Amino acid sequence: MEALADRLSHLDSHVHGAIRVVAFYDTLMRRRVDLPALARASAGLAECVAGVRLHGTARVVRMTPDGRPAAGAGGAAGAGGPRAADGGRAVSATAPILLDEEEIGTVWLERPGPPGALDPVLLDRFALAVAAAVERHGPAPTTMADPALVELVIGAGTDEASRARALRRLGFAPDRPVRVAAVRSALPLDRIGALVCPDPPVKAARLPDVGVLLAPAIAADRFPAPARAGIGGPGNPEVSWRQARTALRFATARRPVVRHEDLGALALLDRVPPDAVRENPDVAAIGRLAAAPEDLETLDAYCATGSLRRAAELLHRHHSSIARRIEQIGRTLGLDLTEPAGLLRAAVALTAWRLLDDPPAPANG
């Protein structure tokens, strides 16, 4: 009987301790503290080094019991189990950080001795508080993202629940619009994102053939030369990505950044089978004209402006010289370029011919 009473007294003490731990983290969550504050509070409560690691950003936060950052970046326990921590200490206990049933990171304690009786409760609440902080604060405002996570967001084969989880992990609120841009540039994507996306969050990833930017808004006039980009509309990221890939195909040296909503009916050209484009007589004539790059540049300027004088200003030539060249180009194409119908046919043929140089966006986005 005395032994039972002794066990019950210890059990009662453990329950009261667990309740205090739960109340401690409930207070921290109500105060909406960030990751460093959570790690600092956890280290003080556990009286040993406490750490957090987020898988998506590889961010590691380690704090000592006296509230200072722990030396080094050791102690980042991953899915494979505890690893040696800074100073030779071992990670004594870990717990996964779960958000929407997906593991997004790990929390741990670096206790020099065996785990404490309340360590499982402490780590469970620590992980829960970190998940809430990540959901609330989100990742860094502008950063390169995991390409696999970005592909989940923009892919046509992604179910909406998975897309929503991926967006949340990237820091996008479910009620905010997202635009997607397809970018070709030698410049770092994170640098371009910082230039063209005025509002966070901004996420960038490089896929095998093109760069991707995701943001609430993307300023077409801020892209640095010589980048080329297509910008999709706001809304469903899958649709926006498909629009961005289409718009990128229309980008040229003269018009390096294209918004899909500015294409209007021209976007229909993207759906014409390439063989049908090649067989069109006007497009075939443009192909023959391409052997003379100066003629092609002159036609491009004239189609863009609809005016001999304005084309001459763009090309820094006398307008009479441009007039003679346009007349000669018209004879080559078999079109009267001084007439609206002839100019329209030339402009459409020139655009369609350029699309042959760039493979169409996949039908699934």
- What confidence score (pLDDT) does residue 360 get? 54
Task: Tell me the DSSP string of 69-82.
Answer: BPSSS----BTTB-
CATH architecture of 272-355: Orthogonal Bundle (1.10)
Residue 203: the pLDDT is 92
> Would you call the peptide bond into 201 cis, given omega within 30 degrees of 0 as the criterion?
yes
Q: What pLDDT tens digit does each residue of the chain (365 aa) get? A: 344 344 434 545 677 788 888 999 998 888 888 889 999 999 999 999 999 998 766 679 999 999 899 876 444 444 333 444 434 457 889 999 987 666 888 999 999 888 888 899 999 999 999 988 887 766 555 578 889 999 999 998 899 888 988 888 888 877 778 999 999 999 889 889 989 988 888 899 999 889 999 999 999 999 998 999 999 999 899 999 999 999 999 998 889 999 999 999 999 998 899 999 999 999 999 999 988 889 889 998 988 888 889 988 988 888 888 889 999 999 999 999 989 999 999 999 999 998 887 655 544 33
Task: Report the phi/psi class of residue 306: left, alpha or beta, with left for phi > 0 and alpha for psi in -120 to 50.
Answer: left
How crowded is residue 18: how many other Cβ atoms within 10 Å of its Cβ? 17
Measure the CA–CA gap between 365 and 357, rounded to whole angstroms: 19
| E strands, 186-302, in order | 202-206, 211-215, 228-231, 257-259
User: Is the pTM value of this prediction over 0.75?
Assistant: no
Q: Rounded CA gap, 69 and 50, in Å?
A: 10
Domain with CATH 1.10.10.2840 in the chain: 272-355
Distance CA 130, CA 25 (A): 10
d(Cα 88, Cα 106) in Å, to the nearest integer? 20
Architecture of domain 2-137 in CATH? 2-Layer Sandwich (3.30)
pLDDT of residue 343: 93
Q: Quick one: 133 exposed, middle or buried, by C-beta within 10 A (0-12, 13-18, 19+)?
A: buried
- Give the C-alpha separation, 317 to 323, whole Å: 10
Query: How high is the pLDDT of residue 15?
Result: 77
pLDDT at residue number 86? 38
Residue 65 burial (10 A CB sphere; 0-12, 13-18, 19+): middle
SS3 label, residue 200? coil
Rounded to whole angstroms, the Cα distance separating 257 from 244 reads: 10
Within 10 angstroms of residue 230's Cβ, the number of other Cβ atoms is: 27
Which residues neighbour 7 within 8 Å (Cβ) at sequence distance 6 or greater? none
Task: Supply the angle between the helices 160-169 and 147-154 in degrees, to the nearest 10.
Answer: 140
The secondary structure of residue 317, as a DSSP letter, is S
Strand partners, 296: none
Cite the residue boundaries of each domain of the chain with CATH code 3.30.450: 2-137
